[in-house]
Amino acid sequence: MGPACSDGNVRGQFAPLSFHSFMTWNLLVIQALNGLQYGVLLFLLAAGLTLVLGVMNFVNLTHGALYMVGAYLAATALTHSNSFLLAAVAAVFGTLVIGVVMEWAALRNFYRRGHLDQVLATFGLILFFNEAVRMIWGPAPVYMRTPEWLSGTVNLFGFDYPSYRFLVIGVGLGTAVGMYLLIHHTRIGMLIRAGATNAQMVSILGVNIRMLNTLLFGLGAAMAGLSGLMAAPLFAVQPGMGDNVLIAVIVVIVIGGIGSVRGAFYGALLVGVVDTVGRVYLPLLLRQVAERTIADAAGPALASMLIYVFMAIVLAVRPQGLFSARR
Amino acid sequence: MSFPEPISPRSPRFLVGVVILLVLALVPQISDAIGESYYVTIVTRILIFGLAASSLNLILGYGGLVSFGHALYLGIGAYAVGLLSFYGVSNGWIHLAATVGLCAIVSLLTGLVCMRTSGMGFIMITLAFAQMFFFLGVSLKQYGGDDGLKISSRSNFEPLFSIEGNTGLYYFSLILTLGVLYLTWRFVNARFGRVLRGSKSNIQRLKVLGFPILRFQVLTYVISGCVCGVAGLLLGNFTKFASPAYMYWTVSGDLIVMVILGGIATVMGPLVGAAVYVVLETILSSYTQHWMVILGPMILVIALTATRGVWGLFPRGEAPNWEKRTP
């Protein structure tokens, strides 16, 4: 299991770092872009999950597992078909189907139960998915290559940045706009907003809330699959890869406010940038104030705790999150 | 759920409890007689996880707060032994004091932040804090990092007693576990415990009655954390190893499963649940390496059906007279 998968895209690529490059403009921009790209990836996951948590009041821990399944489906489809588009279809529709089946067969029984039972049920499903993936694809990581037409770099203001990462940022921002339009300018979006405020009232008004729930769950699952697809060429695709991302997504949602897509967006970008930039600059900053040996030991440790401390501070000030959907 | 937990001395539940305790007292002798020292280690494992699950039951079962991060305190206990031994301190009493002290500080600080939220937020924040310490353990390369820290010799309680041998450790675990079970029983029937259980069923009413509920909840969380830390100390001594894996979130999930499986909000339940869970794991893993594919759906079924747990299956009988008289 790779616990540090969140920084997998930062390390190695732009190393080595020295004090000399500490304040380099290039490095800062590249790290900011990396942070943005990581944040956007977190948003893709958080947007789907926060709707399920907020609107359905359902603690869905399987979101990370669906992300993992999406990544595996994408990697497999790309190897066999050599088409990134087909990989995208496989990832998004595969997870959509799995999500809807899972909701229909098991999870809808838990909507009326307490959070504890929901945690337990989805925890069991995570164990199942992690092990099932290990059985099918083996314990070793699978690597998905970047499609050829995206493997180049884009020259921006005099330095190169991989075009695939630009695509990730683009897809994420596009999804954000799409989500905004869906939620604020469609009938389904109106029902979702109404459901977040008072689900019982919505069902009394004659809306098929079961249908709406299945739809929402499927939408969340498909978005998890989409983020799995976008993440697959960036990280090692391996069993359990969703677990650590899930925790980061949870931090995002807690910071943004449960149920708020807007909160998920700003929370994801904040966490993405704070985490990425913190991992690079905190050890360097520490060297300015402490002995090199101490700084080298404490730097990575502190950097890995940074987003949680950030979360704790936000909670201490605003327990309901920065953009709470509920009053 | 009945409010106090009266048990008649002639009820099946009481008799089964007595038999379990008698068997527990004689496990080393029995396994000596059949020449399978393996059983002692299995039952020690059950006791340690039973102790941890009992501590979780305080806050989860009686307090109604779903802590999804109790593995954190297992880790603190194990690392207290590991780090002190690493620096040459082998005195068991110092290990114990360090464990309880550290757990008290950590649980007080995180508890105060976590209690700012409730319900879903509480679940996710406890999870996030536990994961933060997991990443801290992973990033501390000088103490083994990902691989964990080997403990050269067990905590030294001489000249009073020794836990260097497996039998010594077994009885030490047994006495601590039974002590905690007794104190749990006293705790939940004391005024403090009654207020806590009242806050689970109707927190608003208790607040109106003038009880400072937050203080009760935080204090219970701290007690729970400290007891779980002691289980961690035992775990570190048992495996002679302190690893970040003890703090991984699946361990927290395992503890919740144990509590539910055995019987939530009962004194003996968590221990029974730990026994069933450990035995189940051992049997399943002897059949196939992919046993989690079976265990995962089993947990789902447990969440769906086992509302009272294994321990709840035994009738508790008529309450004795002295219980009825209490207001």
Where b means 16+ CB within 10 Å and e means fewer, A283-319 reads: bbebbeeeeeeebebbbbbbbbbbbbebbbebbeeeb
Q: Which amino acid is at A56?
A: M
Q: What is the mean pLDDT of residues A24-50?
A: 88
Res B318: pLDDT: 56
ipTM comes to 0.87
Res B6: pLDDT: 60
Residues of B whose CB is below 8 A from A124: 295-300, 302-303
Q: Does A4 touch chain B (CB under 8 A)?
A: yes
Distances (CA, A) of A317 to A61, A322, B118, B311: 26, 9, 15, 42
Res B79: pLDDT: 95
Other CB atoms within 10 Å distance of the CB of residue B198 = 17
* Parallel/antiparallel/unpaired status of strands B149-150 and A159-162: unpaired
Domain that holds residue A270: 5-9+25-142+149-317
Residue B221: is its pLDDT beyond 50? yes
Average per-residue pLDDT in chain B?
Answer: 88
Task: Tell me, yes or no, whether A20 lies in a domain.
Answer: no
Q: Does A178 touch chain B (CB under 8 A)?
A: no
Closest CA to A229 of A101, A85, A97: A85
Q: Nearest by CB to A300, which of B124, B139, B250? A: B139
Q: Nearest by CB to B113, which of A129, A130, A312? A: A312
Residue B278: is its pLDDT beyond 50? yes
Q: What is the pLDDT of residues B20-53, one digit of tens each?
A: 888 888 888 888 888 888 889 999 999 999 999 9
Residue A325: is its pLDDT beyond 80? no
Q: Does A322 touch chain B (CB under 8 A)?
A: no
- In chain A, which among 226-255 make CB contacts under 8 A with chain B? 243-244, 247, 250-251, 253-254
Distances (CA, A) of A237 to A74, A136, A165, A233, B165: 10, 13, 17, 8, 43
Burial of residue B75 (number of CB atoms within 10 Å: 0-12, 13-18, 19+):
buried
Residue of A nearest to B118 (CA): A319
| Two tokens, residue A286 | 């520490």
Q: What is the mean pLDDT of residues B162-191?
A: 91
The confidence band for B5, taking pLDDT boundaries of 50, 70 and 90, is low
| Residue A160 backbone dihedrals phi, psi, to 5 degrees | -95, 140
Q: What is the pLDDT of residues A171-206, one digit of tens each?
A: 999 999 998 898 889 998 888 888 777 878 888 888
Task: Tell me, yes or no, whether A220 lies in a domain.
Answer: yes
CATH of domain B12-325: 1.10.3470
Residue B223: is its pLDDT beyond 70? yes
User: Higher pLDDT residue, A155 or B220?
Assistant: B220
Res B87: pLDDT: 92
| Two tokens, residue A248 | 């980061």
Res A38: pLDDT: 92
Size of interface A-B (CB pairs under 8 A): 140
Task: Tell me, yes or no, whether A18 lies in a domain.
Answer: no
Do the Cβ atoms of A297 and B98 come closer than 8 Å?
no
Q: What is the mean pLDDT of residues A77-83?
A: 89
Inter-chain touch A297–B138, beta carbons under 8 Å: no
CA distance A310 to A271: 8
Res A92: pLDDT: 95
Tokens 């949870």: give the residue: A250
Q: Nearest by CB to A120, which of B121, B293, B302? A: B302
User: Higher pLDDT residue, B246 or A296?
Assistant: B246
Task: Tell me, yes or no, whether A48 lies in a domain.
Answer: yes
Inter-chain touch B138–A3, beta carbons under 8 Å: yes
Do the Cβ atoms of B60 and B222 come closer than 8 Å?
no
Q: What is the pLDDT of residues A209-223, one digit of tens each?
A: 888 889 999 999 999
Inter-chain touch B68–A119, beta carbons under 8 Å: yes
Q: What is the mean pLDDT of residues A1-12?
A: 38
CA distance B187 to A206: 48
Please name the residue ranges forming H helices in A141-208: 163-185, 187-197, 199-204
User: Higher pLDDT residue, A117 or A10?
Assistant: A117
Q: Does A46 touch chain B (CB under 8 A)?
A: no
Does this model's pTM top 0.90? My answer is no
Residue A313: is its pLDDT beyond 90? no
Q: Which amino acid is at A133?
A: V
Inter-chain touch B257–A123, beta carbons under 8 Å: yes
Res B4: pLDDT: 46
| Two tokens, residue B225 | 């954390």
CA distance B321 to A54: 48
Res A11: pLDDT: 37
Distances (CA, A) of B271 to B49, B193, B221: 8, 20, 19
Task: Tell me, yes or no, whether A16 lies in a domain.
Answer: no
Tokens 């707060």: give the residue: B65
Inter-chain touch A127–B131, beta carbons under 8 Å: no
Q: Nearest by CB to B129, which of A300, A308, A316? A: A308
Q: Nearest by CB to B297, which of A119, A128, A319? A: A128
Inter-chain touch A128–B290, beta carbons under 8 Å: no
- DSSP H/E element including A153: strand A153-156
Tokens 């009413």: give the residue: B205
- In chain A, which among 95-114 make CB contacts under 8 A with chain B? 106, 109-110, 113
- Number of domains present in the structure of chain A: 1
Residue A6: is its pLDDT beyond 50? no
Q: What is the pLDDT of residues A265-307, one digit of tens each?
A: 999 999 999 999 888 888 888 888 877 777 777 787 888 888 9
